[in-house]
Structure 1
Amino acid sequence: MDRTFVMVKPDGVQRGLVGEVITRFERRGFKLVALKLLWIDRGLAERHYEEHRGKPFFDELVRYITSGPVAAMVLEGREVVTTVREMMGATQPAKALPGTIRGTYGIDVGRNIVHGSDSAASAAREIGLFFADGELIEYERALDPWIYER
């Protein structure tokens, strides 16, 4: 099965949306295999957003993501990277479709509730940044045959 990294950002945690975000993904059929609440330090934030280093918004992005606790998680399932991105909605909440997480709860691009990996390679990198070996749990769910044909 594919895996992706998802993070409920400080605004989502402060607004009490962690459970709602997890519920949406679980109801879609994705399996939660890792979850932690943490306060990201500057070093981890800079490594996480390395691709944006040198861009005008980099410092503000790092300042924001370190401003409060986040909920980091790993989801597992078929096509999980692309499906999670679709469920989150466009980065700019004003352009996010109604019913998506950002379309429902987001107002401002700088406070858009949730982050999700944009590719399988990014997912592997981000999972490695936030979770140590052994923190991802392997388990069978009784409902999997009702979600996947094989």
Structure 2
Amino acid sequence: MSHHDERTFVMVKPDGVQRGLIGEIVGRLEDKGLKMVGGKFMQIDEALAHEHYGEHEDKPFFEGLVEFITSGPVFAMVWEGADATRQVRQMMGATDAKEAAPGTIRGDLGNDLGHNVIHGSDHEDEGANEREIALFFDEDELVDWDADAATWVYEDAGDH
């Protein structure tokens, strides 16, 4: 991982999987020049859901979140790139898909607040990335590799 690269956690939620949007979402992130370093198609169980959404435990919508995220398989991923977390957040669009701008993943593919097809780590929450990556992936499930295209994605990629 080069000095300015960052890893971020991204998940295609059950509605995105059911609607066959994994390829579309992966394609958009690849098109942006981000690099996948981990991917796992899985079913989230109750315990993992509670850990993942732990900060919302006392909120009225908590049970609904858990029910939804465990309702079908998800595709969990780790992506790497310069300022990756912020880039992914911008590409995702507003949490409520009805508010998300056209051109964003949620703006183009999502329909409402609950069914917003994708989750990404919050760039404003210090440590969210590490926490979420560790929750879903063991260190040996992440692959360090060099994308030959990097020199064409970032101006200074040839300089490190």
Flag whether TM exceeds 0.5 (same fold).
yes
Which runs of structure 2 are paired with 1:58-69 in the superposition (5 Å)? 58-69=62-73
Q: Deviations over 1:117-145 (max 9, x none)?
A: 00351011000000012000001111111
Give the equivalent residue in structure 1 for 2:92.
88
AA aligned to 1:127 is I
Give the equivalent residue in structure 1 for 2:116.
112
Q: Is residue 139 of structure 2 the alignment partner of residue 133 of structure 1?
A: yes
SS in 2 for 1:77: strand
CA–CA separation in structure 2 for the residues paired with 1:108 and 1:114: 12
CA–CA separation in structure 2 for the residues paired with 1:123 and 1:13: 22
CA–CA separation in structure 2 for the residues paired with 1:31 and 1:20: 15
Once the 2 structures are TM-superposed, how far is the Cα of residue 147 of structure 1 from its aligned partner?
1.0
Identity %: 53
Q: CA RMSD in A?
A: 0.8
SS in 2 for 1:107: coil
Flag structure 2 segments of 5+ consecutive residues without an equivalent.
Answer: none
Q: Is residue 127 of structure 2 the alignment partner of residue 97 of structure 1?
A: no
Which runs of structure 2 are paired with 1:25-44 in the superposition (5 Å)? 25-44=29-48
SS in 2 for 1:40: coil
Give the equivalent residue in structure 1 for 2:149.
143
CA–CA separation in structure 2 for the residues paired with 1:32 and 1:133: 14
Q: TM-score, normalization: structure 1?
A: 0.98
Once the 2 structures are TM-superposed, how far is the Cα of residue 83 of structure 1 from its aligned partner?
0.8
Which runs of structure 2 are paired with 1:40-55 in the superposition (5 Å)? 40-55=44-59
CA–CA separation in structure 1 for the residues paired with 2:81 and 2:115: 27
Q: Deviating runs (4+, > 6 A) in structure 1?
A: none
CA–CA separation in structure 2 for the residues paired with 1:104 and 1:147: 24
Flag structure 1 segments of 5+ consecutive residues without an equivalent.
Answer: none
Q: Is residue 128 of structure 2 the alignment partner of residue 122 of structure 1?
A: yes
How many pairs are equivalent? 150
